[in-house]
Amino acid sequence: MEADWKPLETKLGAPRCAGFMFMGRLNGINQYKHGLSRRYLFLDDEGLAYEAAGRNEFREIPFDEPWRGSKSH
């Protein structure tokens, strides 16, 4: 699977994507992991944010929510 960086670059800007790894895609959700904080960011192709909601399931959330309390963003 080829990495899809467009949703992440659109949300954060290309320079801020350098610390992320593309972990894959599941059910239309692109999964990115920050190398230092080890936190995941789940985005669909339109840039909407999601959180894990069970095995192989996601729930839409506001974009700033995955980063609350994180010093990595």
Segment 8-40, tens digit of pLDDT: 999 999 998 999 999 999 999 999 999 998 999
Greater model confidence, 64 or 21: 21
Distance CA 64, CA 21 (A): 19
Per-residue pLDDT at 72: 42
pLDDT score of 68 more than 90: no
Per-residue pLDDT at 69: 45
Per-residue pLDDT at 1: 76
